[in-house]
Copies of this chain bind each other. A is one copy, B any other.
């Protein structure tokens, strides 16, 4: 199989693709160490919205101060070696307004059981995306 080339995607195309998949990976720093968790997400008003529980390390990081995080999603076909990946870097914050929390919570059904009563919103600052195309 020929190698693939990486074709850069526009920010708008990247965010559109990210919005089209139900699952991504939130990347953050914990005690100066890199950390990553798969999570299901939605994109609302250009922001990435995820649910979390107060007990998780992600919520602990974000609750203290607005945190810089990355969010990655991809659709990669391991047979064809084609697909795309998108990485968003931005500011994550716990949504505080109770009405806004209720509105956003209703728009995401987490896969896992549990309270997941917190809502985290990521405001994109940098959006990069690549598509694997035949070389």
Chain B CB within 8 A of A34 CB: yes
Residue from A3, A36, A85, A110 whose CB has the most chain B CB atoms within 10 Å: A36
Residue contact A112 to B132, C-beta cutoff 8 Å: yes
Residues A41-58 near B (CB distance < 8 A): none
Count of this chain's copies in the oligomeric assembly = 2
Residue contact A3 to B111, C-beta cutoff 8 Å: yes
Chain B CB within 8 A of A81 CB: yes
Give the residues in chain B near A23, CB-CB below 8 Å: 76, 78
Q: Which residues of A come within 8 Å of B, CB atoms?
A: 2-6, 21-23, 25, 27-29, 32-38, 68-70, 72, 74, 76, 78, 81, 85, 87, 89, 110-114, 132, 135
CA distance A69 to B32 in the complex (A): 11
CA distance A38 to B6 in the complex (A): 12
Contact of A113 (CB < 8 Å), options: B3, B21, B35: B3
Residue contact B111 to A35, C-beta cutoff 8 Å: no
Give the residues in chain B near A28, CB-CB below 8 Å: 34
Give the residues in chain B near A27, CB-CB below 8 Å: 27, 34-36
CA distance A2 to B32 in the complex (A): 36
CA distance A76 to B39 in the complex (A): 11
A–B complex contacts, Cβ < 8 Å, 16 sampled: A2-B113, A3-B114, A25-B36, A25-B72, A27-B27, A29-B29, A29-B34, A33-B89, A34-B68, A34-B69, A34-B89, A36-B70, A36-B87, A38-B74, A111-B132, A112-B132
